[in-house]
Amino acid sequence: MAATTSQGKTFTTFVASLTVSAAGLAFVATGIGKVALVLGIIGLAAALWGFLKIKPAEGKVPVNKQPAVLKLAALALALGGWLIVIVGLNLSASVGGRMTTTVIGLVITLSGVIGLMPIAASKNAIWKA
Amino acid sequence: MRIARFASGICALALVLSSGAGIVVRAEAAPSASAAELKDAASKAPSTATLAAGDPGGALTGTISDVPVGDSKAGLTLGDVANQVGQNKIGINFTWTLVCGFLVMFMQAGFAMVEAGLCRVKNANHTYMMNFFVYGCGLFAYWIIGFAIQMGGAAGNGNLGGLQPLASEHTVSLFGHTWGLFGQSGMFLTGHSYDVGVMVIFLFQMVFMDTALTIVTGACAERWKFLTFAVSSVLMGAFTYPLFANWAWGGGWLSQLGTNLGLGKGYCDFAGSGVVHAVGGITALAVALIIGPRIGKFNRDGSSNVILGHDMSAVLIGCFILAFGWFGFNPGSTLGASAAGNLRIGSIAVNTMLAGCTGTFGALLYMWSLRGKPDASMSGNGLLAGLVAITAPSGFVSPISSAIIGFIAGVLVCLSVSFVENRLKVDDPVGAISVHGTCGIWGVISVGLFADGTSNYGGSWNGVTGSVTGLFYGDASQLVAQLVGVTTLIGFVFSFSFALNWVLDIFIGQRVSAETEIAGLDLPEMGQLGYPEFVFVPEPSHLVATPQVAVA
């Protein structure tokens, strides 16, 4: 089973709710804006619930579950390296000092994104079976 | 005696009056020289009777008579002429920006052809549809909220009349400076943002945003569920892209690295190697890591199999459509063709052409020399790699630098494709991660190296006086600013995109079923084959074997 009417209806709910939420946010200073925002968020939650409900009916996918801990560690490295760059800009006022901390942060970020994350994504890869 | 005294008093009064002392008498002001010249010129304009005879040479059309007069009683004034000059400047800039935006919009067709051509025939309809519908998804998301996040605080652009309605940027104070985070004005283009200048910048920025979104469809082709693609694209157009674009182009913190910390002119990205292409390529990497490789792409020992596309003519024609559209992408990013250094549009267009040319050479010569054949798909990717790489520096560098940047990009894309596939074990059917991610980052870095300080866009860039100058021309701090941008792309944008799509994988599922993938996505997902009258050639067995382990 692939595309279905259930998918279409749930996607329609998602799009409509997102529009109402955004309209509510745009006019959040008014009473009707607040109501629209709340209704929109409820609609989005309903759409997510709808997606979750139809997902099992869509057949088996050729992807094994990969270790979440490794993925989270990779994301932590990626974000951590970026934060080192941000903080490092304010630790030193010299171009050389800022270049050093930036390069260090970039290397750490890269180790997360192209080092650890691909390992995490293919640890239980289906082609290894 | 009394009469004599009275008469002398009258005479004295008359004397005082005639000298003007003590009494203000309003007199007619003499007409200024300029007003006289204007009146004289107006009188010499072709009459209606003369114009009624026709003007085949064009010498009589477009004269002083066409300048609007503010006050018909006063006639044509210097103020009227000055107002018209201002309107002309803005009109030229509006027209230039809009036409360039139309060219960029047409690039969607190029992307569609390149991606579909590199995919198998059984997925043609689905791949074309992703590139078709991403336009709607992106435009919708950008209209309701994305544009406001990106450009809500971008007021101050003199090329387009000031954009004053976009004057609401959410800021944060950190380390003694104020940093912009996201805009807050312009949702649904209502209220104050219902403005002629805002409409122009909306259209132009929207087509750039959609380019970023469409890049992801290439890396995830042949197995991305259409529903999840649609939801993911809406969210990318609403949040991921606009956030980084605000930081770089909307008055956000990356552009303020120069004014706040003295790092060159802040993060500089003339037309979007980072903002558009790297954001797209890095998001493509994030989704491709979640979605996994196509069935049969990798063998048990980790070696990869070639999965051929079905239409090389579509690929190469698509590349030319993209190269044509890039003439809107880079030169259009001046946002004007009048004043403020905008006559550099010719240089930018030539830089773009040169980088595309040398990018093609870089890839073709690499493949021919080392792999034995002038590979068509890699040559096309080489052209695109050069164009992607020159996008950021195009407004700041010389033609020679452009050629070097493009050539390096052409070789880099070949190395990157091999690295992504063989080392990272990421399946990318069209090379989107390498063309846009790797070469986009190279483009960002090349600004910090090759910017030569000869450009002059109104005397400053990102609020810092002077011209953008890179390491090779004396300013190492510019390179630092560029590397901060690169780390933000790889660290923040990747993490944000990965987290967002990981959630979507949990709720919706990113990938189609194994059964659907083997049959081809056209019928199960779209309900129709891309080429209903074709007879399909059976695929090799390793591409249609149902995997032994498949999970729901």
Give the residue among B157, B233, B169 at the shortest CA–CA distance from B201: B157
Give the residue among B277, B276, B329, B255 at the shortest CA–CA distance from B478: B255
Domain assignment of residue B19, yes or no = no
Domain assignment of residue B30, yes or no = no
What local confidence, expressed as pLDDT, does residue B538 receive? 78
| Any B CB within 8 A of A106 CB | yes
Domain assignment of residue B532, yes or no = no
Which of 72-101 (A) contact B at CB < 8 A?
A: 75, 78-79, 81-83, 85, 89-90, 95, 98-99
pLDDT tens-place values along chain B, 552 residues long: 454 455 455 545 545 444 444 444 444 455 566 888 888 888 889 999 999 999 999 989 999 989 999 998 888 899 999 999 999 999 999 999 999 999 999 999 999 999 999 999 999 999 999 999 999 999 999 999 999 999 999 988 889 998 999 999 999 999 899 999 999 999 999 999 999 999 999 999 999 999 999 999 999 999 999 999 999 999 999 999 999 999 999 999 999 999 999 999 999 999 999 999 999 999 999 999 999 999 999 999 999 999 999 999 999 999 999 999 999 999 999 999 998 789 999 999 999 999 999 999 999 999 999 999 999 999 999 999 999 999 999 999 999 999 999 999 999 999 999 999 999 999 999 999 999 999 999 999 999 999 999 999 999 999 999 999 999 999 999 999 999 999 999 999 999 999 999 999 999 999 999 999 999 999 999 999 999 888 777 788 778 776 654 444
CA–CA separation, B448 and B473 (whole Å): 10
Number of domains in chain B: 1
CA–CA separation, A107 and B444 (whole Å): 17
B32 Cβ contact list (under 8 Å, min separation 6): none
Domain assignment of residue B405, yes or no = yes
What local confidence, expressed as pLDDT, does residue B5 receive? 52
| Any B CB within 8 A of A18 CB | yes
Half-sphere exposure of B224 (CA within 13 A, CB side): 32
Exposed, middle or buried by CB within 10 Å (0-12, 13-18, 19+), for B95?
A: middle
| Residue that has been written with the tokens 């063709």 in this structure | B337
pTM: 0.92
DSSP A97: H
CA–CA separation, B475 and B482 (whole Å): 12
Domain assignment of residue B379, yes or no = yes
What local confidence, expressed as pLDDT, does residue A124 receive? 85
The CATH number of whichever domain residue B433 belongs to comes to 1.10.3430.10
CA–CA separation, B386 and B360 (whole Å): 7
Q: How far off is chain B from A42, nearest CA to CA, in Å?
A: 16
Domain assignment of residue B305, yes or no = yes
Polymer length in residues for chain A: 129
What local confidence, expressed as pLDDT, does residue B548 receive? 56
Query: B23 is written with which tokens?
Result: 């009494």
What local confidence, expressed as pLDDT, does residue B20 receive? 43
Exposed, middle or buried by CB within 10 Å (0-12, 13-18, 19+), for A121?
A: buried
Name the pairing type of β-strands B169-174 and B460-461. unpaired
| Parent domain of B327 | 85-169+188-336+344-526
> Among A78, A106, A125, whose Cβ lies nearest the Cβ of B486?
A106
User: How many pairs of residues across A and B have Cβ atoms under 8 Å apart?
Assistant: 189
Domain assignment of residue B10, yes or no = no
Question: How far, CA to CA in Å, does A16 sit from each of A19, A44, B236, B257?
Answer: 5, 9, 17, 39
What local confidence, expressed as pLDDT, does residue B18 receive? 47
What local confidence, expressed as pLDDT, does residue B546 receive? 67
Domain assignment of residue B288, yes or no = yes
